[in-house]
Amino acid sequence: MASAGHGNGLINGVVSNKHTATISEVDEFCNALGGNRPIHSILIANNGMAAVKFIRSVRSWAYETFGTEKAILLVAMATPEDMRINAEHIRIADQFVEVPGGTNNNNYANVQLILEIAEITHVDAVWPGWGHASENPELPDALKAKGIVFLGPPAVSMGALGDKIGSSLIAQAANVPTLPWSGSHVKIPPESSLITIPDEIYRAACVYTTEEAIASCQVVGYPAMIKASWGGGGKGIRKVHNDDEVRALFKQVQGEVPGSPIFITKVASQSRHLEVQLICDQHQKIIEEGPITVAPPETVKELEQAARRLAISVNYVGAAIVEYLYSMETGEYYFLELNPRLQVEHPVTEWIAEINLPAAQVAVGMGIPLWQIPEIRRFYGMEHGGGNDAWRKTSVLATPFDFDKAQSTKSKGHCVAVRVTSEDPDDGFKPTGGKVQELSFKSKPNVWAYFSVKSGGGIHEFSDSQFAANIISFNTRHVFAFGESRALEIANMVLGLKEIQIRGEIRTNVDYTINLLNVNFYHDDKVMKFCKTG
């Protein structure tokens, strides 16, 4: 640990987390709403867009709640590479701590380092974001042992649902439909804990040899997928159509993710990818979901209930995304996986539901029940006080309500997200890096964007190629599936992308995406492939 910084200068020694304003008010907020652990300072164990979004979300919530955006101290981690490019998350944080550079196992994914920084800076909580260490069960366990709040799920819940095979077994036990797969025949005894699946049951859902894979594919039916449970980002997954392809590709899957358990699942043709935004407190569970237009309302309700059952089965706490495949032919849905963290595209849900999800994570971290949080109450049509001091009124007037029976309010519109990446479409979408001389974007009432870099900054060799997210909101109710909304949807997105001015050494997918949207302007089924609901 080299040094700690404040503002744009460096200081030696330990970072002080003593904030001059609103300490007593944060305490009052926590206690009044039924919490048990006020949070005055947070270490952000992430960088780039994730860190920028969290800082801005917490600052906005703090200003609305306490009258000052500085109510909670936000401490950033800073690698030499991020400092060299004048990374935005370092610039806007209250304080920063220098950490080793290089790949993320040296910094943002290094559990021991994160723990040491959290102790040195005396923060109350750690926010992991997405990627890096966000899905490593060792981090919440290590922080808990030191009395530091992890703004995410407990290690046991993360481990249980973060594994593709384990989560599918848990889904089956919780009566959540799954596609035919190599573990379809495996049953967890009713008396067993779903948090810890016995090894013999887990192994029964896996395939270990090429011949076992072939036999499983013949049972589930071709086409099928060979998948590594620890895979992701295109690694450890192959589609096969016959026995010969299994023989040719099974070893490739094993080699791409060494040591990972392997399973087989049937391919769901003519399916759409639907997601449910889930946030759970330490007391009860609720669902937050963006508008799904390709499935009927009764199916959407079933998706919510299934996600709730899944979370309850492992005592989940925090934010998560439950992913499903929905068959357009049969109307059936199947559990795909659960991401035990906040999703990159969570601003889509925020815009639709008008709930600040990072702020909700902080409140849950304080031990506050969801039924006490004003934004959550408003989402479910309950009295919430209103005004900047809504929490004071809520603490006095609010009563618990049953989330299973409560009906959420209609979303204020529809939202689509486009990822802006530093990739070169003319060179096979190869990631690019370098200086950014100019980056400008003008927000509009229906177009909003946030970036992890600014003019004079850049993208270094260890950066994620995604450095921005464009979020477009539509007040019409007929997005994606209905004709008159298609023109507005595409026009707003294209106009928003054209407002982005980027000049420098990097290449981006902006022009490519504009052309893609224009080419597919009148083809709803094709445009849907590039639009994502929250």
CA angle 213, 160, 277 (to 5 degrees): 105
C-alpha span between 96 and 143 (Å, rounded): 19
Name the maximum alpha-carbon separation found in the chain: 68
DSSP result, 447-460: EEEEES--TT-EE-
Residue entry with tokens 């007040």: 475
Of 274, 270, 271, 197, the closest CA to residue 229 belongs to 197
In what side-by-side order are the strands of the sheet with 224-232? 235-240, 224-232, 262-266
| H or E element at residue 15 | none
CB-CB neighbours of 393 under 10 Å: 15
Contact 56, 357 (CB under 8 A): no
Residue pair 168/181 in contact (Cβ under 8 Å)? The answer is yes
Please say if 84 is a catalytic residue. no
d(CA 368, CA 400): 12
Contacts of 279 (CB under 8 A, 6+ apart): 286, 288, 318, 319, 320, 357, 360, 361, 364, 370
Task: List, in order, residues 6 or more apart from 353 with CB less than 8 Å away.
Answer: 277, 288, 289, 290, 379, 408, 411
* DSSP β-ladder status, 262-266 and 271-280: unpaired
Q: Rounded to whole angstroms, how far apart are CA atoms 514 and 483?
A: 20
Residue 324: helix, strand or coil by DSSP? strand
**CA separation for the pair 153, 531 (Å, rounded):** 28
Q: Look up residue 88 and give its amino acid.
A: E
* Catalytic residue, candidates 341, 377, 486, 507: 341
What sign has the CA pseudo-torsion 204, 210, 212, 214? positive
Q: How many whole angstroms from its chain centre is CA 211?
A: 37
Burial class (CB in 10 A: 0-12, 13-18, 19+), 69: middle
Closest by CA to 93, choosing from 67, 117, 109, is 117
E strands, 122-182, are 125-127, 149-150
Cα–Cα distance list, 443 to 51, 272, 356 (Å): 20, 31, 19
Per DSSP, 444 falls in state B
As a whole number of angstroms, the distance between CA 98 and CA 4 comes to 6
Report the catalytic residues.
341
